[in-house]
Every structure is written in structure tokens, then in C-alpha cells.
């Protein structure tokens, strides 16, 4: 059948009509009708192309978004009025946003359901009991939301919503759901009191960012190449079984905790689009508040997913580390299946001036974090993980695509769970429709109190230039004061899950002396002012066989080979030693540049193009620290004996007056005060 005309509500009073010329060449009159009345529309503007004519018509009164309307032309042809760009109109947020609870609220005798969908004409909930009994209940509209209370104990019931929108019936999951089946056909109702109860609280933490030592790892990578049984490799459960190397050395959690790490950062553990067969990092969000099913031993059992994740977190806490969670709020995996898109078409994403969806994330869509209900979803999600799973830090993927107000609201919100919850992320300035002044970028970091950024200048300068020059390293060692307002803003790193590992990079760009410069790079990460960040396996020369983007590679490429650790035990011991030194002496953890200027001096007369010399002074102790990037002898002479406490490879305590520095490394000497 030939299409005649379509019509869309683009503001509360403006309707766009698309007339297909195969139907007729022009419209004479248009009438808007609902159940009770019919009124003639006034056409304001006309745009014509080869195939269609676009009309902009204005209504006398604002239209109710949850009611059905039709347009009829002077020939009697009728078209349903669809929801158009009105959901992106600023008035939409002002008039129809909602600040109450959403999702489900379970009680033994009843469960409350609340769903935000102001443009739906009708909403019903499908309930499926554990025995397979099916029922449908209508929800009542209330100020942009639909809600219902269903009596009875609904624990383990499955549910999903059936909505009528744009004259079509659509099935959707709950964007606030906390449990799901493996295929994402239904969400589950659960009783949180029946889930695993934590035995160990979050380990004590000062809440001072520069006291963090972050270790990034993937759940899958940590055990995929161990000798564990196949069914638990790459899972939460596998990490509770403490796998050993062939020589009996610790791996995974026990080993990581032995380094002195404060925060174990996990690549995404929320529900992402993957069936667990192909390798996936997890940066393709499906359901934000649900643990990823294929890290559990039974993806179809909601309690198994929840309990095994909570048991894993409890073990991390028992070992003295906090958990940092990688979250992805700049895009979603599938823009059409995303539940918020189904519930409020067009609202969730950013659009450009030509009314096309933007793609700043490179994933086909950009979440409009500045809109109130997307912001609420994000803030509520992070609060949920903080409360229910005791997550202590959040790493925000492509943070520069998130607006400043959303991040500041998150920071304020999580304080009620633990004032030591940390936020940090990728503050790259990616072009987007978000105004430059509202982007959460490094350039705007002063507008983001208490939120840190990955220091890509640190990474690039160290990985590219360190073997040739120390130019710029002084600035990095002092916390990058030309880039940040505080060293507590700078996450210092030389490798992460993205791109080549440091070993692979050096193998291509600095084929000689890889091992010495690799160690020196890690030493700078651990001793520079700011927040040190270590990628899993970095401390024993982890390789991904040269892959520059391993998100679609195999476990053979991505999995951590713990047997390699046993070959380089002195390197991992060096990392442990430096973390010990960092934790023991506050001079390596200064949080203000004013204090750095008072306590750290650059000794220009002892420095040259291959050696940087610093004095670090506290009231009761003083250090001389030398950064060296060549193999020429460098003599350090003192009139009075001093103690060498780090000799470039290990923590020592050697007393003397003359020291010969021979290889690239950082050297630390303690002087009498």
C-alpha cells in the first residue's frame, strides 16, 4: 500500500507532517482529533523536496503525551500522531522529569513496580511465576510514570513490560532491573535479604586520592590461562579458588593483594552483550544494574549471578583491597533495544542540528547524559552498585562525553555510602554536541572537584621518549602541575587494557634494553606525585603478542600467563617494594601543589639530560631521588654516610658515602635531617 502521510509531535504545540507526493501534491486542510474533539491546524511552514513535502503545523493547546491523537486531511485520510522530537525539547525535561524511586520495590507480601514512560498510552506488566503461571496487570499513569502494586510474594518471578507507544505494542525490560535471565527476555524479582551477605566491610581507606594504588584487570583474564577446571575459568567463582602456578606461587587475587594494591579495578562486570563464547572486554552495555551472567556459573539463575559476584567482592575485601568498577555511560550497545529508548523514543541520545543521531563515541550513539532522566539513571545506578555491592570506586569510560553536572551529582550522591568512594576516568576532549564548557574533560578538571583523570601525557611521554631523553619527566614527577590543579587529579600510567602493552610497545620502538626501561617506566608510575595505575601483568612484562586492540582477540592473547610471573619475581618484588615505600612515606603522596613546592626541590646543578635529581624533605627525614635513563656511570658522593633505600631494583638499606649508578632506574637515598 502506498504511504500517504506521516505526522510527528516535535514540540508540545508543533506537529511535523510528511506528505508523500505519490499520494497528493499538496494539503488543503488538516484536522487534529482525539476522543472528544476535532480542531483545524494552522500550517506555518512548508518545505519541499522531489519526493515529499514537509509541513510544520501549530496546535492551539499543548497536547497530553499519554493520549492518542490522529490527523485527518481534507480528503478524509487519517494518520496516527507519533511521538517525534518533543522528547528532546527542553520543556520535556522541565515539565515531565521525575525524581522518585523507579524499578521494583520487593516486600514479602507485595511488590511495587514503577516505570518512567510519559509518552506511552498504555502499560502492562507480564508476570511469570517460577511454576510457569502467566498473568498480565495494567499499570496506572501518574505524572510521567506508570505504577502498580501486586500483592503476594513474588520472589523469583520473571517480569517484563508491554507498552503501547506510537500505535504499536512493544515489549521491554526494566531499565532499573537488578536481575535477568541469560537471554535478556525477562527480568527477575528478587529478595535482597536472601542474597549473599557480606562478611567483610570495605577495607579502611583515607579517602585521599593520592593514597590509591590502582591495579586494572579483567575477570576473564585473571584465570583464563590457569590450571583451574574449564567450567570455572574466567569467572567470579574461579577467582575464589586461588589458582597456583606450577611452582606453587600465588596468582590472581592473593598475588595482587600481596603487592599492596589498594583498589582492584575491574573491566566491566555489568551485563554486556556477549554470550561468553567470544572474547569481550564488556564495553557494550545492555543492563546497567545486573552482573554479567557469563562470569557466573549459572547465567539463568539471578541469585547465582548476584551471590558469586558478592562472594568475589567479599574475598577482595578480606584480602585488604577495595573494588573499582569500570562503567560505560557514554553509549549503549544497541540503540533500538535499549529499554529507555523503547520507553521514551528519541530521548536517550544526542542529535545534531540536522536531527541525526551523533556518534562521538564511535559506537553508533551517544547517551544524552545531560537530560534529567538519563542523568538520574546514571546516578541511581552508581548508587545501587555502591550500596548493594559495596563498590568503592568507579572508572568512567570516555568521561569527556559525560556532562560535568552529572559527574558532580554522582560525587555528591555516593558520599552517603562511603565518603572514600573515588571517581576517575578518561577526560579526553572528544567533539560532541555537548558544549565545550560542559564536558568532563581534563581542560575542565577544575569544575570537577574530587574527580581524577587519566594522564595520557604521562603515558605518551614515558613510552615514546624515555629511552632518549628525560625532557618533560620533571613535570610528570611533580604531578603534572601545568595540566592539573592538584596532583590528586592525575592518574599516572604507561599501559592499560587499551592499545599495546608497554612490553609490546618497547619491543617495536626500543628493541634494546627493553627490560631496564620497562622497569624504569613502572618506577616512575609508582613514585611520581599523583595516583599510580598498574595494568595487570605489567609488573612481569605482560605481552599481547603485539596486538594494538585486543578486545576481539582470544584468551591466548588476553589471558594473563602467571607462569611468566615466576620468571620475573624480582620485578613483582620491586613493585611491592616501591608500593611499600610509597605507603610508608607521605612525601610520595602529596595532594597539593603548594605542599610539593615546599617539600620537593629540583637540584639543577646535579642534573643533566640523562639524570634528574630531586630532594624530598619532611620534618623527620629527607630523601635524594635520582631518575637515570642511560648506562653511563654516575657517581654520587657524600661527605657524611647516607642510606641507599632503593637501588634501582629493590628496597635495600646500604650505608655509604660513594655510590656508582650504572643502569636506567630510580635510586633513592635517605639523608640525615
SS (H, E, C) 220-275: HHHHCCCCCCCCCCCCCHHHHCCCECCCCCECHHHHHHHCCCCEEEECCCEEECCC
Catalytic residue among 216, 286, 326, 426: 426
Cα(33)–Cα(78) distance, rounded to whole angstroms?
A: 10
User: What is the DSSP track for 527-562?
Assistant: HSSSEEEEETTGGGT---TT-S-GGGS-HHHHS--H
Rounded Cα distance, 294 and 274, in Å: 8
The Cα 458–Cα 476 span in angstroms is 6
Q: How far is the C-alpha of 242 from the C-alpha of 256, rounded, in Å?
A: 11
Alpha helical stretches, state H, 266-357: 302-318, 339-343
The three grid cell numbers given for residue 640, joined into one nine-digit string: 657524611
Told to judge if 647 belongs to the known catalytic residues of this protein, a careful annotator would answer no
Residue from 397, 403, 418, 504 carrying the catalytic annotation = 397
Q: What are the CA-CA distances from residue 101 to residues 145, 148, 384, 638 (Å)?
A: 10, 13, 12, 67
Show the cell assigned to 328. 560505560
- The three-class DSSP label of residue 513 is coil
The residues that bridge with 148 in the sheet, in sequence order, are 113
The rounded distance, in Å, linking the Cα atoms of 341 and 357 is: 13
395 near 425, Cβ under 8 Å?
yes
Please give the grid coordinates belonging to residue 645. 633505600
Residues in Cβ contact with 594 at an 8 Å cutoff, skipping those fewer than 6 apart: none
Q: Which of 166, 167, 184 is nearest to 175 (CA)?
A: 184
Residue 40 bears catalytic tag:
no
Q: How many residues does the chain have?
A: 673
What is the chain's alpha carbon radius of gyration, rounded to the nearest angstrom?
Answer: 29
CA neighbor of 216 nearest in space, from 536, 499, 571, 490: 536
- Is residue 413 classed as helix, strand or coil in its secondary structure? helix
Answer positive or negative: Cα dihedral of 252, 254, 258, 263.
positive
Q: Which three cell numbers stand for residue 667?
A: 635510586
- Taking the chain, what is the end-to-end CA distance rounded to the nearest angstrom? 91
Instruction: Determine how many CB atoms are found less than 10 A away from the CB of residue 332.
Output: 26
Give the residue carrying C-alpha cell 533500538. 336
State the Cα–Cα distance between residues 543 and 266, nearest whole angstrom: 19
Q: In this structure, what C-alpha cell is assigned to residue 327?
A: 562503567
As beta bridge partners, residue 393 has 324, 422
- Active-site residues, by number, are 397, 426
Amino acid at each position: 500500500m502506498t504511504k500517504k502521510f506521516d505526522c510527528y509531535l516535535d514540540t508540545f504545540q508543533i506537529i511535523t507532517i510528511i506528505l508523500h507526493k505519490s499520494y497528493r501534491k499538496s494539503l488543503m486542510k488538516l484536522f487534529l482529533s482525539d476522543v472528544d474533539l476535532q480542531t483545524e491546524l494552522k500550517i506555518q511552514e512548508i518545505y519541499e523536496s522531489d519526493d515529499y513535502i514537509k509541513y510544520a503545523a501549530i496546535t492551539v493547546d499543548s497536547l497530553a503525551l499519554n493520549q492518542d491523537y490522529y490527523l485527518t486531511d481534507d480528503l478524509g485520510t487519517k494518520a496516527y500522531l507519533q511521538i517525534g522530537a518533543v522528547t528532546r525539547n527542553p520543556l520535556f525535561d522541565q515539565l515531565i522529569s521525575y525524581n522518585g524511586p523507579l524499578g521494583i520495590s520487593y516486600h514479602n507480601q507485595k511488590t511495587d513496580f514503577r516505570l518512567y514512560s510519559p509518552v506511552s498510552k498504555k502499560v502492562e506488566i507480564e508476570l511469570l511465576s517460577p511454576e510457569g503461571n502467566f498473568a498480565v496487570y495494567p499499570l496506572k499513569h501518574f505524572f510521567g510514570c506508570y505504577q502498580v502494586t501486586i500483592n503476594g510474594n513474588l520472589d523469583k518471578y520473571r517480569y517484563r513490560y508491554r507498552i503501547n507507544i506510537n500505535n504499536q505494542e512493544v515489549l521491554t525490560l526494566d531499565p532499573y532491573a537488578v536481575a535477568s535471565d541469560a537471554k535478556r527476555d525477562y527480568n527477575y524479582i528478587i529478595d535482597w535479604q536472601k542474597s549473599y551477605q557480606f562478611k567483610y566491610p570495605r577495607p579502611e581507606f583515607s579517602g585521599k586520592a593520592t593514597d590509591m594504588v590502582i591495579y586494572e584487570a579483567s575477570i576473564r583474564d585473571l584465570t583464563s590461562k590457569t590450571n583451574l577446571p574449564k567450567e570455572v575459568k574466567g569467572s567470579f567463582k574461579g577467582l575464589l579458588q586461588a589458582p597456583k602456578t606450577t611452582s606453587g606461587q600465588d596468582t590472581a587475587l592473593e598475588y595482587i593483594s600481596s603487592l599492596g594494591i589498594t583498589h582492584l579495578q575491574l573491566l566491566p562486570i555489568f551485563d554486556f552483550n556477549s554470550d561468553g563464547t567470544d572474547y569481550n572486554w564488556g564495553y557494550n552495555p545492555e543492563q546497567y544494574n545486573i552482573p554479567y551472567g557469563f562470569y557466573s556459573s549459572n547465567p539463568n539463575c539471578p541469585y547465582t549471578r548476584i551471590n558469586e559476584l558478592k562472594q568475589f567482592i567479599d574475598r577482595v575485601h578480606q584480602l585488604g583491597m577495595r573494588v573499582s568498577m569500570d562503567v560505560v555511560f557514554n553509549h549503549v550497545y544497541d540503540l533500538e533495544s535499549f529499554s529507555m529508548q523503547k520507553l521514551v523514543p528519541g530521548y536517550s541520545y544526542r542529535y545534531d542540528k540536522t536531527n541525526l543521531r551523533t556518534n562521538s563515541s564511535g559506537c553508533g550513539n551517544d547517551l544524552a547524559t545531560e537530560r534529567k532522566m538519563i542523568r538520574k539513571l546514571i546516578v541511581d545506578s552508581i548508587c545501587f552498585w555502591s550500596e548493594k555491592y559495596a563498590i568503592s570506586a568507579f572508572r568512567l569510560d570516555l568521561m569527556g562525553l559525560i556532562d560535568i553536572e552529572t559527574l558532580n551529582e554522582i560525587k555528591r550522591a555516593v558520599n552517603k555510602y562511603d565518603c572514600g568512594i573515588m571517581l576517575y576516568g578518561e577526560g579526553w576532549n572528544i567533539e560532541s554536541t555537548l558544549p565545550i564548557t560542559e564536558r568532563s574533560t581534563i581542560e575542565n578538571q577544575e569544575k570537577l572537584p574530587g574527580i581524577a583523570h587519566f594522564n595520557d601525557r604521562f603515558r605518551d611521554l614515558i613510552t615514546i621518549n624515555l629511552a632518549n631523553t628525560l625532557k618533560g619527566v620533571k613535570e610528570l614527577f611533580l604531578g603534572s602541575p601545568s595540566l592539573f590543579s592538584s596532583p590528586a587529579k592525575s592518574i599516572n600510567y604507561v599501559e592499560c587494557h587499551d592499545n599495546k602493552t608497554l612490553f609490546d610497545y618497547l619491543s617495536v620502538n626500543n628493541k634494546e634494553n627493553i627490560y631496564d626501561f620497562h622497569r624504569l617506566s613502572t618506577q616512575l608510575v609508582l613514585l611520581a606525585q599523583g595516583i599510580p595505575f598498574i595494568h595487570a601483568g605489567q609488573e612481569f612484562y605482560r605481552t599481547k603478542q603485539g596486538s594494538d586492540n585486543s578486545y576481539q582477540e582470544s584468551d591466548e592473547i588476553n589471558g594473563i600467563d602467571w607462569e611468566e610471573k615466576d620468571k620475573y619475581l624480582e620485578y613483582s618484588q620491586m613493585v611491592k617494594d616501591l608500593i611499600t615505600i610509597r605507603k610508608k612515606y607521605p612525601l610520595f603522596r602529596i595532594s597539593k601543589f603548594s605542599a610539593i613546592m615546599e617539600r620537593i626541590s629540583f637540584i639543577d646543578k646535579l642534573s643533566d639530560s640523562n639524570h634528574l635529581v630531586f630532594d624530598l624533605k619532611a620534618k623527620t627525614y629527607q630523601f635524594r631521588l635520582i631518575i637515570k635513563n642511560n648506562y653511563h656511570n654516575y657517581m654520587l658522593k657524600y661527605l657524611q654516610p647516607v642510606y641507599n633505600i632503593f637501588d634501582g631494583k629493590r628496597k635495600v638499606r646500604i650505608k655509604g658515602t660513594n655510590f656508582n649508578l650504572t643502569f636506567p632506574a630510580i635510586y633513592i637515598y635517605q639523608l640525615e635531617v
